[in-house]
Amino acid sequence: MTSARPAAKDDARSLSATASKSGLTVAYFAGWLIDGTGKTPAAQDILMRVENGLIASLERVNLSELKGPGRPDVYEYSGCTILPGLIDCHVHLTMSGKTDPELRSRQLEYDFAQNSPLICKRLEKVLALGIMAVRDGGDIGGHTLTYVKQGRPSRVRVKCAGRGWRAPGRYGKLIARVPENGSTLAESIKANCDGADHIKIVNSGLNSLNEFGLETPPQFDRDELEAAFREARKLGRKVMVHANGRLPVKGALDAGGDSIEHGFFMGEENMKRMADRQVVWVPTAFAMKALRTHLPAGGIQSEVAAKILEAQLEQMSRARELGVALAAGTDAGGFGLLHGEALAEELKLMVEAGFSVEEAVGCATSAGARLLGLDREFGRLGLGMPANFIVVNGPPSSLPDSLGKVKAVYLRGEKIN
């Protein structure tokens, strides 16, 4: 039996890579396995066999039965949990997540040559923390989309919005442009899709940190949004909508949006609409916790951020009861939202809101894979699925904390980290 101890790291990588290329079967024993569906409790003492990079079998076994002469090589993770590779459904790869205001101001002016190595570095970092796919929410220069279209090397799957869309004079200039030359939003989307994987539309402002619960009006009316969403569907694109407050969210839902990003103060009626229409919610709750943490303690803005976070957790708890589909996203790159680390923090808040560990993991695996259209490649550990998984120390009860130091990352059965 082959151990998966750190001392055998190079050997493990070599054998798993050889097996995936040659068609040999390689097996992994896990103390616990979470399949990513969000519906099934963690299984214990599981042997996962991988052939040609695909999961060939999953069975419960007694570890002692695998030892002894003539037994196949098995990589033992008996004190660990195996789970699918993670997905962050809302990031901004051209932004750092740092809190230094001067740095944040400078980075917004970076050109593609400056941003390219930073994007690469951030993707390497998220992969080391077990994140195998991300959905970028846009940058005004479209640099992340350019990076991906140029085929820059990365093992992380990146889905890009390119440059988003906003109304003239409204919030969003850092990530979105306005329709030009008298064109409607729909006409602009048709003429300027730019090879984006999805369309990003900003339909509200930010949350006020000076007045709790203050809502901004929608940026676009329902007719404008309906026309824009129809055009996006003709192009085969989903639409992610930045929306906070009752009216901006309602307008996006009534018009047919695919996902609501943030959704602060949207209210129960909108959550019921989301459940009925199977619209995905990406709540990005950790954004408020980061503000609460990094803003001056005792100040009005820190106190308001804390109240907004509490209100968002209450919404998340109610959404779970109503059957709303949640996908985990962090807004990584925003103030205090570091790429990679932020996802574990978002999952902690999901657990705080009443989600089980398995449900929270499901939001960051199978739910994210469905939203990104990657559900044949990522998100679930089941027969015939690619063996894209991560290993963390300890039982499921150690999650999400154990995501802070991922023990191993496997892509199609090949150990890459």
Say whether both 6 and 152 belong to one domain: no
Give every residue of the chain whose pLDDT is below 70, as ranges.
Answer: 1-24, 67-72
Phi first, then psi, for residue 193 (nearest 5°) are -65, -35
Q: What is the mean pLDDT of the chain?
A: 93
Say whether both 41 and 169 belong to one domain: no
**Tokens coding 282:** 């990406």
Model confidence over 223-242: pLDDT tens digits?
A: 999 999 999 999 999 999 99
* Alpha-carbon torsion angle 180, 185, 105, 129, nearest 10: -140
Model confidence over 167-178: pLDDT tens digits?
A: 999 999 999 999
Say whether both 21 and 152 belong to one domain: no
Say whether both 364 and 383 belong to one domain: no
Number of domains in the chain: 2
Say whether both 147 and 272 belong to one domain: yes
CATH at residue 76: 2.30.40.10
Say whether both 332 and 388 belong to one domain: no
Say whether both 67 and 115 belong to one domain: no
Say whether both 33 and 113 belong to one domain: no
The model's pTM: 0.93
Say whether both 207 and 333 belong to one domain: yes
CB contact at 8 A, 202 and 219: yes
**Which residue spans within 85-148 are E strands per DSSP?**
86-91, 131-136
Indicate the DSSP class of residue 83: E
Handedness of CA 65, 68, 72, 73 (dihedral sign): positive
Where in the sequence is the domain holding 113, given as residue range(s)? 86-372
Task: Considering only CA atoms, give the Rg of the chain.
Answer: 22
Phi first, then psi, for residue 50 (nearest 5°) are -125, 130
CB contact at 8 A, 165 and 185: yes
Residue 97, CA distances (Å) to 132, 262, 291, 299, 338 in order: 19, 17, 12, 22, 5
Say whether both 29 and 134 belong to one domain: no
Say whether both 217 and 182 belong to one domain: yes
Model pLDDT, residue 63? 82
- Alpha-carbon distance of 281 to 343, in angstroms, equals 15
CATH at residue 268: 3.20.20.140
**Tokens coding 1:** 């039996």
Say whether both 112 and 57 belong to one domain: no
**First vs last Cα of the chain: how many Å apart?**
21
